[in-house]
Amino acid sequence: MSVEIDKDEDFSEEEEWFQEFMKAMNEKLISPSISLLNQRRLMQMQQAYTMIKRGLQIYGGNASITCEQLEIEPDMGAIVVEGLDITVNDTEYFTKAVSLSDTMGVYPFRDGQVMLELTFNGLLTPIEWGDNT
C-alpha cells in the first residue's frame, strides 16, 4: 500500500514542527551511553504524525495531537491523539500511519474522552565502543 502525497501541497507547518521536534530530541539525549538519533525511524514517526493529522477528523474543543519522545524510555516515542470524538476520514492515511508504528492502543476515559496512541521503538541507535582495556 502506498500513499500519494501531492508534491505541491504546503507542508511548511509539519516541517517546522519536525525541526522543533528534532531540536527537543537532541536536548533530551542525556543518557550516560552515547546514542545517535535514528534518522530513518524519526522520519517514519514524522510521516505518521502528518498522516494522522490528515487522516483523522477530531471533534471537541479539547482535542489535541502530540508527538514526543518518552521520558521514561528515550528510545521510544509516541503520537497521542485525545478528544471527545475521533473519526477516521481517510482510511488510507490512517492505516499507513498505523503500519509505521510498533503498537497502537485506543483508550476510552470516563469523561467521554478517547485517546489513540501510536508508539515507535528504536528512535536511538547506541554507539558501540571497542574494549580499550
φ, ψ at 119 (rounded to 5°): -110, 150
The span from the CA of 88 to the CA of 110, in Å, is 22
**Residue 92 forms part of a structural domain:** yes
What is the pLDDT at residue 107? 93
The half-sphere exposure of 102 on its side-chain side, counting CA atoms within 13 A, is: 11
**Residue 5 forms part of a structural domain:** no
Q: pLDDT at residue 118 above 80?
A: yes
Q: Which residue has the higher pLDDT, 120 or 61?
A: 120
CATH number at residue 65: 3.30.565
Percent of the chain with pLDDT over 70: 77
**Residue 131 forms part of a structural domain:** no
**Domain of 19, in residue numbers:** 12-126
What is the pLDDT at residue 40? 95
What is the pLDDT at residue 84? 83
Q: Which residue has the higher pLDDT, 125 or 118?
A: 118
- Name the domain count of the chain: 1
**Residue 4 forms part of a structural domain:** no
Q: What is the mean pLDDT of the chain?
A: 82
Q: pLDDT at residue 103 above 90?
A: yes
What is the pLDDT at residue 98? 95
The span from the CA of 124 to the CA of 24, in Å, is 14
List the beta strands (DSSP E) in 20-100: 35-37, 56-59, 64-69, 76-83, 85-88
**Residue 118 forms part of a structural domain:** yes
